[in-house]
Amino acid sequence: MCSASNTANLIDVNLNNYATASIPLGVAGAVKFRVTDTNIDYTGGKFVGYRIAPTSALNVNLINSLSVRTYLNCSLQDSFSENSLLGVCLLNGTGDYVVGFVTN
């Protein structure tokens, strides 16, 4: 079964911890993360996204199935997926990817 763990790590200030999404090979499913800031309404022009560290070459292919959305007061503001994620890049020598976009 698909699962997520350590999800509180998505929004803390510690850059040395992480959340984990697990989708077993051959299982149809998805893992969704929702990050909400109820204290601040952010203006456009901000980069939003995730740093992703695939655990195998197969998981790199999963990056093509990602989507990132922003909402303001429950109303969809931006939605990007797959090739439209402008910030997809491989970080030098780490095998990690940064996936995201600049908001409108």
* Residuewise pLDDT in 10s, the chain (104 residues): 778 888 888 888 887 888 888 777 766 777 778 888 888 888 889 888 777 777 665 455 666 677 788 888 889 998 887 666 645 555 556 667 777 788 88
Question: Which are the contacts of 30, defined by CB distance < 8 A and separation ≥ 6?
Answer: 2, 23
For every residue of the chain, DSSP letters joined together read: --EEE-GGGGSSS-TT---EEE--TT-----------SS-PPPSS-EEEEEE--SSHHHHHHGGG-EEEEEETTEEEEEEEGGG-TT-EEPTTT--EEEEEE--
pTM listed for this prediction:
0.65
